[in-house]
Structure 1
Amino acid sequence: MSQSLTDFSDLIRSVRESAVHLEMRDGYGVDNEIEGFTAWRQGHRLDPADRGSWWRPWLDLVEEVTGKGVVIRRARIVSEPVSEYIAFEHSGTFTNVAAGEQIRWLPRRRASDLALPGNDFWLFDSRLVQFNVFDGVGRWVHTDQTQDSAVAKLCSEAFEAVWERAIPHEKYVV
């Protein structure tokens, strides 16, 4: 299934209570395909005082949805020492938090005994699961969605197990 940013925006706007996102890769995309990654490598860092320079339209969407009372939580399982890409993500995550996301990081070594789905996913209102499937170098390949209650339960339990162990963003140091 192919999905545009508009389709995803409409989906997340339809959420009534919660959206959780589990990320389990140490890298996404290829260097030049990730907005801001090359500049970050060259020393550019986002300015906390310059909200206009942050990643739009995602942060606007997060502010809109969380402003309606929806809870958005993201957990990232990462190898340590972290990859260059994860260091890049970590350096800009304060913008997601400022927009209203709650974000935690779980060192991979602390996830060994957890049952986890094979792909990153979003879980919307504990009922709709969207799996994001990537190729071996981290490029998005396609999206699968299901409302199968057993799959939603598996993903919910996996996310909550990760969330419970994970370190809040403001306390996780890369």
Structure 2
Amino acid sequence: MLLDGDEWQAYFRDFKRSAFRLEVHQTYTMPTEDATVRDFLAGAPKPDGFNVPWHRTIRDHAAAGRTMTRAKVVRRPLTPYSRYLFEWCIPGNVAAGEHYQVVDVTDQPNPGLPEQDFWLFDEATVVHLNYRPDGTQINRELIQDPDIGKYLAWRDLALESAVPFSAH
């Protein structure tokens, strides 16, 4: 089942305990980010109020005792997009309360993580984020009857293999 619009946004509003994201791609090509990525790459300063709505979402969940965690697989040298994430996006997310972890596979093999981005909500609901090789999102797919044990194991493996973003 493909998710879009409010149906997709509801997962971020309505989760009860936890939201975990595994990010495996080195570049994401999101139309909503085109201008800010271009500005970042041109050396512009980060705009005031950058990502404020997302930071509010993170803070609201944290205040209610719900956790938001990501594990980002990276390879050095960082892609321009990953540099944008590390300099403009992630620091604000972390300051708002997101637990952002980095799995650096530059000098070590992948520890067994899939080549599939996904969100895991409340350790029960899995949504695959499907991308083209250039990082353009194809769709968001709610996985029917997922093998939750497999996703929990991938989450745990990612977090065991990671260091907190703040350590970079």
Is the Cα contact below 8 Å between 2:119 and 2:126 reproduced in 1?
yes
- Aligned equivalent of 2:109: 112
Structure 1 position 62 matched with structure 2 position 62:
no
Post-superposition shift, 1:144? Answer: 1.3
Q: What is the SS of the residue equivalent to 1:29?
A: coil
**Unaligned regions of 5+ residues in structure 1, if any?**
none
Over the matched positions of the two proteins, sequence identity in percent amounts to: 23
CA RMSD across the alignment: 2.1
Q: Which residue type is aligned with residue 115 of structure 2?
A: G
Residues 116 and 156 of structure 1, relative CA distance in 2, 3 Å threshold: same
- Post-superposition Cα deviations, 1:53-111, rounded to whole Å, max 9, x if no partner, equal 12142222112222211011111001111111101100021100111101011112466
Amino acid at match of 1:21: R
8 Å contact from structure 1 (residues 126, 153) kept in 2:
no
Q: What is residue 130 of structure 2 aligned with on the other side?
A: 133
Q: Which amino acid aligns with 2:19?
A: A
TM-score normalised by the chain length of structure 2: 0.88
The list of structure 1 runs, each at least 4 consecutive aligned residues, that deviate by more than 6 angstroms after superposition, is: none
Give me the TM-score of the superposition, normalised by structure 1.
0.85
Q: Which of 78, 84, 90 is matched with 2:80 structurally? A: 84
Cross-structure match for 2:4: 3
The residue type equivalent to 1:171 in the other structure is: A
C-alpha deviation, 1:13, in angstroms? 1.9
Which of 82-91 and 57-66 deviates more? 57-66
**Number of residue pairs aligned between Structure 1 and Structure 2:** 166
Paired AA for residue 61 in structure 2: V
Residue 21 of structure 1: SS of its match in structure 2?
A: strand
- Post-superposition CA distance 1:107-128 (Å, at most 9, x none): 1246625332331000001100
Structure 2, unaligned runs of 5 or more: none
Amino acid aligned to 1:123: L
**CA distance in structure 2 between the aligned counterparts of 1:131 and 1:166, rounded to whole angstroms:** 21
